[in-house]
Copies of this chain bind each other. A is one copy, B any other.
Amino acid sequence: MLLTLDLDSEVPIYQQIRDRVVEAIADGELTEGSALPSTRQLAADLAINFHTANKAYDLLRQEGIIRINRKSGAVVRRDPGSGPPAPGYADDWQGRLRTLLAEATVHGVPGEELIQRCGGVLTSFHDQRTTKEPSV
């Protein structure tokens, strides 16, 4: 997994790391059991402080997305096939979706285009996964 950061972004570094990992799992690039680099290794690769990488992993752990052992390091715990979401998650998520869709709507993006883009993104997730794991 190649991880590029935008140090000029308003989005905190640890948040960017978290987002990229989540997207990589959705893409199928990482699956349940995949090992992530150690916090020190990741920090060295990204030329950031060790604690910032640590915070990113801590965030992913709090979300239940990765698991951290002293022995095996950071390992992916959830992927799209790991089971249904926690109760209430989807509704919370929809609240954030609503804000995002409202913004695009106000800026004049047609509803049909928004649906198309949603579908396109989801298809890209699915395509990536079926590419990595061809149907037996």
Contact = CB atoms under 8 A, between A and B. Distances in A.
Interface of A: 19, 22-23, 25-27, 65, 78-86, 89-90, 93-94, 96-109, 111, 113-115, 117-119, 121-122, 125-126
Nearest to A123: B111
A80 B106 contact: yes
Nearest to A89: B107
B117 A104 contact: no
Copy number of this protein in the oligomer? Answer: 2
A23 B83 CA distance: 32
A81 B107 CA distance: 9
B98 A121 contact: yes
Given A103-B22, A118-B115, A109 B96 contact: no
Contacts of A103: 22, 26, 93
Contacts of A101: 26, 118, 121-122, 125
Contact of A89 (B81, B102, B109, B126): B109
